[in-house]
Amino acid sequence: MKKKVPFNKAIYSKNILSGLKKILYGEIIQTAAGFKYFKKCNLILEKKFKLKKCYITNSCTAALEATAIAIDIKPGDEVILPSFTFVSTANAFVLRGAKLVYVDINENNLNINEVNIKKKITKKTKAIIVVHYAGISCDIKKISKLAKKKNIYLIEDAAQAYLSRYDNKYLGTFGDVGCFSFHETKNISSCEGGAIFVNNKKLVKKFSIIVNKGTNRENFERGSVNYYSWKGIGSSYLPHEVTSFILYNQLKIAKKITNDRKKKWINYLNKLSFLKALAILPDKKNFKSSNYHMFPIIFKSREIRDYFLKKMLSLNIQSTFHYIPLHTSSFSKKICNKKFNLPVTEKIYERLLRLPLWFNINEKIVIDGLKKINNSYRH
């Protein structure tokens, strides 16, 4: 049997194990002043991205949930979002009683259609949630301008977009809040983790309470109060020091990982031209300022996509499809109680296939496998 090519494989620096041992056995002492690597990660991110405040979290889901609380989502408030996204994008706001208003995506970049957003805004609209799919930016400047004009919160679900840019500015820094993922499937991984980029200074104090289980613990740690107490709604959104230590080491090699992924991505694009009769390959221009998180192929039909998916798995190459649109799920239909006309979303999702892409992958195995499958397919 041929060696398995996993869809994703995280890379960790060599000093991870020795450092984790020190944390687990208490050689790195935690004090009332807070966790060492948790603070280091926050400071690194705040400095690099010029943030009002940053909190790394135990997941991107946690970051989104904390954000829904911070912007004071109430039952009946409407949030505009794409249906082509992970459930956490919606769940975080549904938990607070929000009504979901789905908007279709653009066919060229699979991001929320900025033109259709304006049509969906009502007096009940509290927030626009954009998802930077595959690390590619939506038209964030146009959407940001619209959100400010309408006095609506703009939330960036940048789970896939760490180090991606738009007009030389990092994604996650345009909206009121940017939410990131450091899950094992992401470019930069702490096994499971996330981050909140707070760009709206009016939300800084709120987040301080929310991520600290609803307390003013940060004031206590700074010595401004003698004890901390319950100040509002919050939960256990902050990560363990083990997670923080792993992330700290990942942040130091983030550029190296990104550059390697870019090389693999470009090689895929250059060597897979033989698929153009059956599929649409990614547009290099769209990915130019991205972090090269993903290499998606959109086949001309679901039948062809499924054929390639099945054959690749038989060759021990793990490729996969992606999101099943939220608006098509039984739960979404139950809570939305209305139909959404999202033709591009419905057309794209069933034809999409993602190739394995990770640091130091031998992409030649994948390319050779695709050649073999392409030759066997009856055009």
CA-closest candidate to residue 367, choices 259, 375, 359: 375
For position 23, what pLDDT does the model report? Answer: 81
What whole-number distance in Å separates Cα of residue 378 and Cα of residue 239? 51
Quote the distance between the C-alpha of residue 361 and its chain's center.
22
pTM (predicted TM-score): 0.94
Asked whether the beta carbons of 275 and 353 are under 8 A apart, the reply is no
87-94 vs 60-70: helix crossing angle, rounded to 10 = 30
How far is residue 196's CA from residue 312's CA, in Å, rounded to a whole number? 37
Q: How many CB atoms lie within 10 A of CB 53?
A: 18
Report the amino acid identity of residue 305. R
Residue 146's pLDDT is 97
Q: How far apart are CA 74 and CA 95, in angstroms?
A: 10
Q: What is the pLDDT along the chain (379 residues), one digit of tens a residue?
A: 467 899 999 888 777 888 888 887 775 555 434 588 999 999 999 999 999 999 999 999 999 999 999 999 999 999 999 999 999 999 999 999 999 999 999 999 999 999 999 999 999 999 999 999 999 999 999 999 999 999 999 999 999 999 999 999 999 999 999 999 999 999 999 999 999 999 999 999 999 999 999 999 999 888 899 989 999 999 999 999 999 999 999 999 999 999 999 999 999 999 999 999 999 999 999 999 999 999 999 999 999 999 999 999 999 999 999 999 999 999 999 999 888 999 999 999 999 999 999 999 999 999 999 999 999 987 6
Burial class (CB in 10 A: 0-12, 13-18, 19+), 143: buried
Residue 223 is predicted with a pLDDT of 87
Task: List, in order of start, the domains of the chain with CATH numbers.
Answer: 16-252 (3.40.640.10), 254-319+355-376 (3.90.1150.10)
Distance separating alpha carbons of residues 198 and 10, to the nearest angstrom: 27
Please report the pLDDT score of residue 31 as a whole number: 42
Is 285 exposed, middle or buried, given 0-12, 13-18 or 19+ CB atoms closer than 10 A? Answer: exposed
pLDDT of the residue at 18: 81
Burial of 261 (0-12, 13-18, 19+ CB in 10 A): buried
Print burial letters for 337-376: b (CB count within 10 Å at least 16), e (below 16). Answer: eeebebebbbebbebbbbbbbbbebebebbbebbeebbee
Euclidean distance between CA atoms 356 and 320, whole angstroms: 8
The amino acid sitting at 245 is F
How high is the pLDDT of residue 157?
Answer: 98
Query: What DSSP line would sit under 273-293, residue for residue?
Result: GGGGGTEEPPPHHHHTTS---
Calpha distance 297→280 (Å, rounded): 6
Question: Which residue's entry shows tokens 């060492």?
Answer: 36
